[in-house]
Structure 1
Amino acid sequence: MTASPTHVVHTLQLGPMDNFIYLLEDKASRQAAIVDPAWEVDEALERARSLGLDITHILLTHTHQDHINGLDEVRAQTGAEVHLLQAEADYWGQAPTDAVLHNDGDEIRLGDTLIRVLHTPGHTPGGTCYHLGDDLITGDTLFVYGCGRCDLKQGDPKAMLRSLKRLRDELPGRTVIHPGHDYGVQPTSTLAEQAQGNPFMHFEDEAAFVHYRMEEHDRVRSGPYGPEKAPVGAQGSQS
């Protein structure tokens, strides 16, 4: 759990794939958003009830089944509004007809908390991060000392590099990342720590990144992922 003057990020680890599901609490209104409802969503709903929260929003970082297989149940029990990127809705092809579709830079109001929508493609065409205060929900774009796969349907390692560089270069280093899976040596980290120790964050050259992500990484690294020096071919590496 992390807290700010306006909001609290509550974390649940659910399912067989080490998913993190988040409840974003607006302190003033007691409204909450659930991020990527999947697996044992009854636990997430019970957590919200125990905290006295009203789930009014559902935020999707992307639409792979391991992140949305509890969507229908949460909608049925809460009536919450579904939010996702227009590009992800186009990729998915099954977005609810009443979903709120966003573009990069849009803001979602959760009580007194503003959540900025960031388009971060690579894992999927409409991959999304949600930025609120000093917290960043990163889905399967950025993991603790890792990043999302790009070998699934319409994955794009070139887009992934652009997304990672954007997060690294545009957001404050103090920003706390909250990833979609528990793949690292710790559940959260800061962008500053990732810029220093995440091998994927060291690349500038597109071809070198594509080679590392698609061919090299899974051969030389295994989880849980910890900080590492820049890989060969990345900026700052020594070959």
Structure 2
Amino acid sequence: MLQRKYLFPGVIELNLQAAQSFGVNIYLIDGGTEWALIDVGMVDTFGEVIELIRKLDFPLSKCKLLIATHADADHVQALASARERLKAKTAAHPKAAAALEAGDTVQTYASIPAQGIEIEGGMPACKIDVKLNEGTEIKVGKLTLKVWHTPGHTPGQLSFRLGNLLFSGDNIYKDGCVGAIDAHHGSHLPSFISSLTRIRDDDAEFLLPSHGPVFRKDPAILQSAIDRLTKYQHMADFGTCTVSWPLEDEYKRDILSGKMPEL
């Protein structure tokens, strides 16, 4: 049996435990009598994840739930395989469940043809047994995760509150970056700003993101991201994710009024 490296009581991050990268943070929630995973990663690394869990002496039969923070392939490509191997139920927000159950390669980022990206194995379709909505409570042994719906990066992005911890998915990282803003998987800037504002104003002390290190919440980091995304809402750079493009609106008014450009 390997010595368990608890990040916080009841929480093991498997990349840190293994001293290797699985490509996405995978959190094992240890409730004592049973356990759960938040995200499972990719198909090609999931065998190593299973072996690590065995070495940590967690009975595979005691897996309570396989939880998807959202439907991006780097987080949950192995979900169907995990469901089959662990005989455990899967859980996701209904809007993520739709993409996962359809095996939608575009919405899950498994396929980005314009950049020549095709993840081997695509996005295997996976039945989602439990639909998680705002306020749902997930019991894992002696622990309780409270579900937050935090859309913006994707429509089905979830976060999970546990005591003074917030598993914050792809909402915010330690360096102030946020999850990719892209029309293909349904990014929505006003919702993203609302989610970041909620995280900023909550009294959670530590943020446990899906990429990069865990960190103590800093309102200034969140505010910087909020300010940046507020500007993004009105910048053509973000295409159909924007709310408006003031320059284009002004130019249309000039055209309709017959005004010529001032050169």
Q: TM-score range by the shorter chain?
A: 0.7 to 0.9
Q: Does 1:79 align with 2:84?
A: no
Q: Does 1:161 align with 2:193?
A: yes
Equivalent position of 2:253 in the other structure? none
SS of the residue 2:193 aligns to: helix
CA contact (8 A) 1:48 1:55 kept: no
CA contact (8 A) 1:123 1:152 kept: no
Cα shift at 1:87: 2.6
Q: Does 1:100 align with 2:124?
A: no
Aligned equivalents of 1:44, 1:200: Cα separation in 2: 35
Q: Does 1:34 align with 2:37?
A: yes
CA displacement, residues 156-215 of structure 1 (integer Å, 9 cap, x when unaligned): 11111010001111x2152x1111112xxxx11122x2x123464453x97425358956
Aligned equivalents of 1:83, 1:213: Cα separation in 2: 36
Q: Does 1:65 align with 2:73?
A: yes
CA contact (8 A) 1:157 1:213 kept: no
CA displacement, residues 24-75 of structure 1 (integer Å, 9 cap, x when unaligned): 111x31x221121122112221222122223221010001111111112211
CA contact (8 A) 1:161 1:209 kept: no
Aligned alpha-carbon RMSD (Å): 2.5
Aligned equivalents of 2:38, 2:204: Cα separation in 1: 23
SS of the residue 1:20 aligns to: coil
Aligned equivalents of 2:193, 2:151: Cα separation in 1: 9
Q: Does 1:189 align with 2:196?
A: no
Give ranges in structure 1 of 5+ residues lacking alignment: 216-239
Equivalent position of 1:11 in the other structure? 14
- Write out aligned runs for 1:113-192 (5 A): 113-144=143-174, 145-153=176-184, 154-169=186-201, 171-174=202-205, 176-182=206-212, 187-191=213-217
Larger Rg: 2
Give ranges in structure 2 of 5+ residues lacking alignment: 1-5, 103-124, 239-263
Aligned equivalents of 1:213, 1:10: Cα separation in 2: 38
With normalisation by structure 1, the TM-score equals: 0.74
Taking structure 1 as reference, are residues 213 and 88 closer, same or farther at Cα in structure 2, changes over 3 Å only?
farther
Aligned equivalents of 1:116, 1:151: Cα separation in 2: 27
Equivalent position of 2:57 in the other structure? 52
Q: 2:231 aligns with which of 189, 208, 220?
A: 208
Aligned equivalents of 1:77, 1:207: Cα separation in 2: 43
Identity in percent: 25
With normalisation by structure 2, the TM-score equals: 0.68
Aligned equivalents of 1:62, 1:200: Cα separation in 2: 24
Taking structure 1 as reference, are residues 208 and 135 closer, same or farther at Cα in structure 2, changes over 3 Å only?
same
Cα shift at 1:92: 4.4
Is the helix fraction higher in 1 or 2? 2
Cα shift at 1:10: 2.5
CA displacement, residues 51-109 of structure 1 (integer Å, 9 cap, x when unaligned): 22232210100011111111122112111111111232235453744510021011010
CA contact (8 A) 1:56 1:79 kept: no
